[in-house]
Amino acid sequence: MTQSIAFDAWRHGSARRVQAALGIVLLEALIAVLVLSLGTLGIAGLAARALRDAGDAHWRGEAAGLATSTLARMWTEEPSTLASRYDSSAGGAGFREIVAAASRLPGVSSTRNAPVVAVREDAFGTSPRVTITLFWQGPGDDVAHRYAIEQVVASR
């Protein structure tokens, strides 16, 4: 009978050790799940940031394309008429076309984030210096993004 009591005491102590080991394993598993969750959240945040940056790059490309195509069109026109047709303060037909095209950009209308076109006579002759500034503001953006290009349009 002494053997049986000794065996029961050993088995009972072993059960405690098994329970303690199971508790440690459970704690390690919970910590592993926590670390995995934090890593997954980090990756999701990076993916969201990458999508937002890709959208910004897309709209910047659209703005650059619009600005360069406008400058190309200006090169085909008479330089002395550029100010009256394209300058923002004159509000001519060319400027209205730019505003209509820029309305494809997010957050742009004729009153909000409208393009700015400045046509100045250059100090060294009759070739005007043209500056085109385009703005866009995506949903959730606090401030408007900006793309500007400046070029001298030489007389023909």
Mean pLDDT (the chain, rounded): 87
Q: Which long-range contacts (CB under 8 A, 24 or more apart) does 132-137 make?
A: 132/67, 132/70, 132/71, 132/98, 134/63, 134/66, 134/67, 134/102, 134/105, 134/108, 135/105, 135/107, 135/108, 136/59, 136/62, 136/63, 136/105, 136/106, 136/107, 136/108, 137/106, 137/107, 137/108, 137/113
22: pLDDT strictly greater than 80: no
Least confident span in 41-45, 59-63, 112-116, 121-125: 121-125
20: pLDDT strictly greater than 80: no
Beta strand segments in the chain, E = 116-121, 128-136, 145-152
Residue 109's pLDDT band (cuts 50, 70, 90): confident
Q: Stretch 25-54: mean pLDDT, rounded?
A: 94
Amino acid 4: pLDDT: 59
Query: What does the angle CA 67 – CA 77 – CA 149 come to, to the nearest 5 degrees?
Result: 20
State the Cα–Cα distance between residues 55 and 68, nearest whole angstrom: 20
Angle (deg, nearest 10), helices 2-75 and 93-102: 170
- Where are the domains positioned within the chain? 2-152
Residue 135's pLDDT band (cuts 50, 70, 90): very high
Q: Are 105 and 134 in contact (CB under 8 A)?
A: yes
Residue 13's pLDDT band (cuts 50, 70, 90): low
Residue 131's pLDDT band (cuts 50, 70, 90): very high
Amino acid 80: pLDDT: 85
Per residue in 76-100, pLDDT (tens digit) is 998 888 999 999 999 999 999 999 9
